[in-house]
Amino acid sequence: MWAYAGMDQMGVSVSAAPLDRGGRVNYDCNQVRRCRWPGRYVEWEHCQRYTNTVGIKGKKGSSEELLLLFGNHLDSTTPEAGYNYGVCPWKEGDGPYFEGNHEPRLRNNYINAGEWLPWNDGVSFVLGTQRGVYWPHAPALTEMDTRRRPKKHVPPFRGDVLAVDFLRAQPQVVLAGTRSGHICQLDTRTAPEEWDRMVFRHKSSVAQLRSIGGFDVLAAGPRSAMCIYDLRFAKAREQNANEKPFLPWERNAVAPAVEFPGYRNEAHIKIGLDVLSQPGYGHGVVAAAHDDCTVGLYSLRDGSRIPSADVDKIKAPGVVKALMFQTLPHDQHPSLFVGVGSVIQKFSY
């Protein structure tokens, strides 16, 4: 079974693609018994009225769970104002059910991103919010500015965090990308007071952030800024005599190791991007949506555009917000799945 989820006016729709005997997606197959999910909705009280679903994240590994993220647009002073986040577990043949969570510290806040912990087999994840990084299962690590009017000079990881991931070489290090353009390394083995010095600035807001192997990190955002940084080459900035003293999180700089001149995204934060960096596929590939409603493939080695006759033909009715590399059961190689309007297109190589 290959399950997928999407959002529409009714809520979150969870469905399964029908597979034929060869393990291929085939909507013409007559084996209805293989298509156990004709389509099921995850329904939750009050959530439709008060909140907007801003993200769906599937858990990697054998567990079949979804992390549903909700952005609350109201002044949430009561539990009835909607869920902040939830976990949706399911098994093949069973209907999905929803476990919602109300978190007081997430009131007057907005969840931008979430990621499962790679080193925890349980239901544990980290969230990037409008006021910092939130750990539902590790309150001591939570760094958020819960004041109604946050101060101006606060560490970036206590501000508007748009993207989160984990460092491949050291999974205990959380990567946080912020609207202010900072990339933060939050080492869970150290005290949060030491995180100020592990910050540097990207060329724009960090809308997408991916650890792509070792200490390499790919960051992308508006102003058509997509780069790869090697975190081992962070250097202290030189302080000029006529400049104001640097804030602790403004002292470091990292020069891009690879840039992507063909990437086009001038203003969008919610835009699709995924990376194929597993061994066996050269130096790796990044698939990135553009602001002209197209999708491009780029090499992680030198940032050059990779020609693809089929992918280059994509012309969506709007900016593509969801795309990912995934390997279906019985497939030998990953495929690229792209949400084009209300249709999911699969590109295999």
- Assess whether 229 and 288 both reside in one domain: no
Q: Where does a domain end: 259, 294, 316?
A: 259
What DSSP element (H or E) covers 87?
Answer: strand 85-89
Q: Which residue has the higher pLDDT, 141 or 279?
A: 279
- Residue 118 and residue 249 in one domain: yes
Most confident of 92-96, 145-149, 168-172: 168-172
116 and 255 part of one domain: yes
Same domain, 72 and 183: no
Same domain, 214 and 286: no
Strand intervals (E) in 173-284: 173-178, 182-187, 199-201, 208-213, 216-221, 225-230, 235-236, 252-253, 258-259, 273-276
Does 116 lie in the same domain as 95?
Answer: no
Of the candidates 68, 102, 136, which is a domain's last residue?
Answer: 102
Distance CA 303, CA 285 (A): 9
Tell me: do 12 and 80 sit in the same domain. Answer: yes
Domain that holds residue 310: 268-349
AA letter at 290: H
Q: If pLDDT is split at 50, 70 and 90, which confidence band does 115 have? A: confident
Overall number of domains in the chain: 3
Using CA atoms, how far residue 348 sits from 19, 92, 284, 324, 330, in Å, is 16, 25, 15, 12, 13
pLDDT at 23: 57
Are 169 and 296 found together in one domain? no
Q: Clarify whether residues 224 and 285 are in a common domain.
A: no
- Compute the distance between CA of residue 181 and CA of residue 18 in angstroms, rounded to an integer: 42
What's the pLDDT score for residue 91? 47
CB-side neighbour CA atoms (13 Å) of 109: 32
- Last residue in a domain, options 238, 259, 280: 259
* Predicted local confidence at residue 114, as pLDDT: 85
Is 96:134 a contact under the CB 8 Å cutoff? no
| Residue 171 binned pLDDT confidence (cut-offs 50, 70, 90) | confident
Q: 122: which DSSP letter?
A: S
Give the pLDDT band of residue 95 (cuts 50, 70, 90).
very low
